[in-house]
């Protein structure tokens, strides 16, 4: 039971990171029907940006207060990653809009190769260890007088921070999509781009903003990733990227709550599988569940079934 609780906490933490990345996939897919393969690498880039911003603040500007530094790094990484994704969309995807389906996919794969190698060239191929931060760990089983020795359920400040920031940002983002004119324009573009344009919505700008929002959420995940694992490498984008994409598809691609749900599920499956079975096959488990879900529930958990008109 204690182990179960502990794994639940770990799984939710990991799942939050996947969920944040998955939103970027699902939003871009929803609005232009394109699988943005470069999104995982954008997440990795944002982790690097966050790491360097943090070091600029602490080493060059000698900022003492950690909460302020964390906040500045979060906002800065979101803004700069948003700028990156805006530029990427402008240069690599916009010229291919309206072209056939595989063209933007290949362009995105090229962009993914470009981004990971770009980071390798400018920052070097080695692992970058992040500076150690104080991390208070709460022992949840202390007060209960429970289990001696074998397991104790712990919850660290970082894990709390990850879950709280994820929840707050998701709530803010949900409000943005459901209750603002920007969100309405975006949902309109998702349903019918041509009609939305006829009704005076600036489709190009809306799509650009979608990319920026997706990148900003990926940057949040990047900041969390560096903070949680304490190390980042130029090749770290691919696996979380594929898993987040899996999460988006599992939840029903195009559906925002689905992406978060899928992310949490993938995180939980991975953590529980590693804990109760074997770490070796945790990725196989995640992919198998994806395949099984899609075969029996082809539009994901919360996705709308695709109806084909003849």
Site for another protein in 112-141 (CB under 8 A): 112-115, 117-124, 126, 128-131
> CB-wise, 168 or 205, nearer to another protein?
205
| 294 contacts another protein (rule: CB under 8 A) | yes
Among 253, 266, 271, 302, binds another protein (CB under 8 A): 253
| 110 contacts another protein (rule: CB under 8 A) | yes
| 48 contacts another protein (rule: CB under 8 A) | yes
Phi (first) and psi of residue 2, to 5 degrees: -65, -45
Q: Which of residues 194-233 bind another protein (CB under 8 A)?
A: none
| 43 contacts another protein (rule: CB under 8 A) | no
| 92 contacts another protein (rule: CB under 8 A) | yes
d(CA 5, CA 11) in angstroms, rounded, equals 10
Phi (first) and psi of residue 113, to 5 degrees: -60, -45
Q: Which of residues 142-161 bind another protein (CB under 8 A)?
A: none
Nearest C-alpha neighbor of 10 from the set 281, 247, 264? 264
| 68 contacts another protein (rule: CB under 8 A) | no
- Per CB under 8 A, the segment of 14-22, 91-99, 134-142, 174-182 that binds another protein is 91-99
Among 109, 147, 164, 199, binds another protein (CB under 8 A): 109
DSSP lists the bridge partners of residue 298 as none
DSSP lists the bridge partners of residue 139 as 154
Least distance to another protein, CB of residue 138, Å: 28
Distance from the Cα of residue 66 to its chain's centroid: 24
Q: Could you tell me how many residues make up the chain?
A: 310
Phi (first) and psi of residue 93, to 5 degrees: -110, -35
| 281 contacts another protein (rule: CB under 8 A) | yes
Among 2, 5, 8, 55, binds another protein (CB under 8 A): 55
Number of residues that bind another protein (CB under 8 A): 71
Least distance to another protein, CB of residue 205, Å: 12
- How many other β-carbons are positioned within 10 Å of the β-carbon of residue 303? 20
Helices (H), the chain: 2-32, 39-55, 66-88, 102-123, 157-179, 181-191, 193-198, 203-229, 238-251, 256-276, 282-296
Least distance to another protein, CB of residue 4, Å: 25
Tokens 């029907």 correspond to what residue?
Answer: 33
């Amino acid at each position: 039971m204690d182990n179960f609780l502990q794994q639940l906490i770990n799984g939710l933490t990991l799942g939050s990171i996947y969920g944040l990345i998955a939103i970027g996939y699902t939003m871009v897919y929803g609005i232009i029907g394109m699988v943005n393969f470069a999104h995982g690498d954008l997440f990795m880039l944002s982790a690097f940006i966050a790491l360097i911003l943090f070091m600029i603040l602490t080493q060059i500007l000698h900022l003492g207060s950690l909460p302020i530094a964390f906040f500045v790094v979060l906002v800065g990484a979101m803004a700069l990653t948003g700028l990156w994704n805006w530029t990427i969309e402008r240069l690599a995807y916009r010229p291919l809009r309206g072209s056939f389906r595989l063209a933007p996919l290949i362009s995105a794969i090229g962009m993914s190769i470009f981004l990971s190698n770009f980071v390798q060239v400018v920052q070097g191929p080695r692992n970058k260890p992040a500076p150690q931060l104080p991390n208070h760990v709460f022992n949840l089983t202390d007060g209960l007088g429970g289990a001696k020795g074998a397991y104790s359920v712990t919850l660290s400040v970082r894990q709390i921070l990850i879950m709280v920031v994820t929840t707050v940002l998701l709530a803010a983002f949900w409000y943005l999509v459901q209750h603002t004119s920007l969100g309405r324009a975006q949902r309109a573009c998702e349903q019918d781009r041509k009609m939305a344009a006829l009704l005076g919505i600036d489709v190009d700008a809306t799509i650009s903003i979608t990319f920026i929002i997706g990148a900003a959420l990926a940057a949040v995940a990047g900041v969390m990733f560096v903070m949680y694992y304490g190390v980042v490498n130029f090749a770290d984008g691919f696996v979380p990227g594929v898993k987040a994409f899996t999460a988006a598809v599992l939840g029903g691609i195009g559906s925002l709550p689905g992406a978060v749900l899928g992310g949490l599920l993938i995180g939980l499956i991975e953590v529980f599988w590693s804990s109760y079975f074997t770490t070796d096959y945790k990725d196989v488990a995640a992919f198998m569940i994806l395949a099984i879900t899609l075969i029996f529930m082809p539009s994901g958990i919360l996705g709308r079934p695709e109806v084909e008109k003849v």
